[in-house]
Structure 1
Amino acid sequence: MKPDFETMSKAELRSYVIAHRDDNEAFYMLVDRLKADNKDAVRYPCPKTPEDWEKVPKLIEEQIKKLEK
């Protein structure tokens, strides 16, 4: 009998997935939870041009300042 993934904490679910790597249901439940926790995260596309790469240090600095607050 499988455990109730809905009632498990994220840490418990992560431990379960590591111990039961072939359990796709548990894996997808963990991925869904991680996505839900980060739904407001800002995502930047991979830089493709030299101009994009020039913006990277500034974006990193901005993110560090947000995290320090």
Structure 2
Amino acid sequence: MTQQPNFQTMPRKELRSYVLSHRDDEDALRIYMDRLKSEPGIDRHQGGVTADDLARLDRLVQQSITKTGEIS
């Protein structure tokens, strides 16, 4: 059996690379995700689309239609 790397001491970039190449390793993924949550300076996105997002998209589409004069 192969010895598993020490994910706690592994640099984040190396851990990311490991997770991407060992997609079935749930322990590595869990540690990587925990690290992303705790490290400062990491952009976090909540995901999903809000009603405000849809309203903004609708306004942009309407502006585009008005500018071009047609629906493509």
TM-score range, shorter chain: 0.5 to 0.7
The one-letter code of the counterpart of 1:20 is H
Where does structure 1 lack aligned partners over 5 or more consecutive residues? 55-69
Q: Does 1:37 align with 2:39?
A: yes
Q: Kindly state the Cα deviation for residue 16 of structure 1 after the two structures are TM-superposed.
A: 0.5
The structure that is helix-richer by fraction is 1
Cα offsets for 1:13-61 (capped at 9, x unmatched): 001101111000000100000011258x6x6x8532xxx456xxxxxxx
1:47-62 aligned within 5 A: 47-48=50-51, 52=52, 53=55
Aligned counterpart, 2:22: 20
CA distance in structure 1 between the partners assigned to 2:6 and 2:33 by the alignment = 16
User: How many equivalent residue pairs?
Assistant: 51
Q: Kindly state the Cα deviation for residue 10 of structure 1 after the two structures are TM-superposed.
A: 0.2
TM-score by length of 2: 0.55
SS in 2 for 1:7: coil
Aligned counterpart, 1:9: 11
Indicate the structure (1 or 2) with the bigger Cα radius of gyration. 2
Where does structure 2 lack aligned partners over 5 or more consecutive residues? 57-72
